[in-house]
Amino acid sequence: MKKIKICHLYGNLLNTYGDVGNVMAYAHEARKNGYEVEIDTVSIGDFFDWEKYNFVFFGGGQDYEQRIVQSDLLEKKLNIKKYIENNGVFLAICGGYQLLGQYYYDAYNKKINGLNIFNHYTVNQENGKRFTGPVKIKDCNSGKIYEGFENHGGVTYLSENQNEFGTVIDGNGNNGTDKTEGFRYKNTIGTYLHGPLLARNEELCKDLLKLSIENVNDN
Ligand code: GLN
């Protein structure tokens, strides 16, 4: 039987608002399609085997946990980059999305270094303000509509060479001003949408699984 191998990056630390539900929804969809599923939590001190996985999930977190993972994350940078460049399917939500970029200034205005694989950067809103509430976006590639909710103090700005994941219809998205939501590069998506996103938006779950299946080997 063919197997889908899932990596839940820092699943024991970064998992706000039930983000693990994305892994569960994805695994469920894979089983429905006749695949066996293996899920590894890859966390502090663990080797990230970039050639092993068909799907990597990197969830959201409180500032505290984001700070804990930052140095370990940098040790995994090379392999994460290889996975992404090799068209690996990668979904990063909120805190995970922020950490794929250059940096995140937390609620105390202290800098947390990101992986710097992508050029987006995140600063905090003044006076502890947070963006909370429902979000609706339109996928820039497919035109599909996704729903979720956001809860972030950080506001993110994309660089000119980055494409947003979606356009904001309702809610705030990356920064509340430019209508961009998340980013997409190859098969990597960063987004602020909790939900869990893949449980609330079955179409997206199916599309990501399809992309993974294209890369599955018999083993
Ligand atoms: N701590 C980050 C922020 O407040 C990320 C929050 C999250 O992942 N839910 O912006």
- Residue 32 is encoded by which pair of tokens? 């429905």
Pocket test for ligand 1, best of 13, 63, 120, 125 (most atoms within 8 A of CB): 63
- Could you give phi then psi for residue 190, rounded to 5 degrees? -115, 140
Ligand 1 midpoint to CA 59 (Å): 10
**CA pair distance 29, 23, nearest whole angstrom:** 10
Q: Which atom of ligand 1 is nearest to the CA of 151?
A: 9
Q: Which residue has the tokens 């602020």?
A: 192
Tens digit of pLDDT at every position of the chain (219 positions): 799 999 999 999 998 999 999 999 999 999 999 999 999 999 999 999 999 999 999 999 999 999 999 999 999 999 999 999 999 999 999 999 999 999 999 999 999 999 999 999 999 998 889 999 999 999 999 999 999 999 999 999 999 999 999 999 999 999 999 999 999 999 999 999 999 999 999 999 999 999 999 876 544
Cis peptide before 134 (omega within 30 of 0): no
* Confidence at residue 117, expressed as pLDDT on a 0 to 100 scale: 98
Cα 157 from chain centre: 16
The pTM of the full predicted model, rounded to 2 decimals, is: 0.97
Enumerate residues lining ligand 1, CB below 6 A. 16, 60-63, 66, 94-95, 151-154
ipTM of the prediction: 0.94
Classify residue 34 as left (phi > 0), alpha (psi -120 to 50) or beta: left
Catalytic residue among 7, 94, 120, 205: 94
**CA pair distance 163, 183, nearest whole angstrom:** 5
- Residue 214 is encoded by which pair of tokens? 């294209």
Output DSSP code: residue 186.
T
Confirm whether 94 is a catalytic residue: yes
Ligand 1 midpoint to CA 60 (Å): 6
- Residue 58 is encoded by which pair of tokens? 């990197």
**CA pair distance 98, 129, nearest whole angstrom:** 17
Confirm whether 7 is a catalytic residue: no
Using an 8 Å Cβ cutoff, are 116 and 101 in contact? Answer: yes
N-to-C CA span, the chain = 8
67 annotated binding-site participant = no
Ligand 1 midpoint to CA 154 (Å): 7
